[in-house]
Structure 1
Amino acid sequence: MLPVPNLDDRMFEQMVMEARKSIPKLFPEWTDENEHDPGITLLELMSWMTEMQQYYLNRVTEKNERKFLKLLGIRPREAVSAVCDVAFSGVQQQLVLPKGTPLQAMDQHFETLRTVQLVPSTLEKVLVRTETAAGDFTSNNQAKIAYYAFGSEAIKGAHLYLGFDRALPVDTEISLSFQLYDRYPVHVSHPKDAATPIISSAKVGWSFAGAGQDQGQQQGQSESWLPVEGVSDTTVHLSQSGEVRFRITSEMKPMALYPADDRSRYWICCTLEEDGYELSPKIEKVSLNSVQAAEQETFSEVIAFRSNGEPDQSFEVSTYLAFGGLHTVQVQDEQGRWRDWHIVAELEDHGPDDLVCQLLQDSVRRTTRLRFGDGVNGSIPPQGAQRVRLIAYTAEFDYSRYVGGSKGLPGQTFEVARGRTYKPSSMLLQVGYRPRGSHCVVWDDWQSVDDFDNSKSTDRHYVYDAEAGTIRFGNNEAGLVPPKSVEPNIRFLALQAGGGERGNVKDGLVTGFTEEPGVSVTNPFPARGGLEAETLTQAKLRVRRELDTPTRAVTGEDYERIAKATPGLRVARVKAIPLYKPGMRDYPKVKAPAQMTVAVVPYSESDKPKAGKGFLQTIKGHLDRHRLLTTELHVIPAEYIKITVHAVVVMEPKYKNEQRRITQELRLLLQPMDHVQGSEGWRFGRTVYKGDIYGVISRVKGVVYVQDLWLDAEGTGFHKDGAGDIHIPPYALVYSGNHEVETISQTDL
Structure 2
Amino acid sequence: MMLPAPNLDDRTFQQLVDDAKRFIADRCPTWTNHNVSDPGVTLVETFAWMTDLLLYRLNRVPDRNYVRFLDLVGVRLFPPVAARAEVSFRLSAQQDATVRIAKGTVVSTRRTATERAIEFTTMADLDIVPARSVVVASSVDGETLRDHTRELGFGSGFACFDERPKAGDALYIGFDRPAPSLIVLLRFTCMVSGHGIDPLRPPLRWEAWDGRRWSRCSLEQDTTNGLNTTGVIELHLPRTHGVRDVGGVTSAWLRCRVVERRGVPAYRESPRIVSVVGAAVGGDVDAVHGAQVAGAVLGISEGVAGQTFRLSQVPVPTTSEPIVIEVSADDTRRNALPAGLPSASPAALPTTAPTGSVAVPAGDGSAPDSPDGNGNGSGAGTETADGWSVWQLVDSFASSGPDDRHVMVDPTTGVVGFGPLVRLADGSVRQYGAVPPKGSVVRVRPYQTGGGRIGNVVARSLNTLRSSIPYVAAVYNRQPASGGVDGETIEEAKVRGPLALRHRDRAVTAEDFEVLARQAAPETARVRCVVEESGQDAGAVRVLVVPRAAGADGRLALTELVVPDTTGEAIRGYLDARRVVGVRVSVEPPRYVGVTVVARLRCAATAHPDRVREDALTALYRFLNPVSGGPDGTGWPFGRAVHVGDVFGVLQAVSGVAYVDEALLFQANPVTRERFSRVERLDLPPTSLVFSFEHQIDAVRAQAAG
TM-score (norm 2): 0.40
Q: Provide TM-score, normalisation by structure 1.
A: 0.38
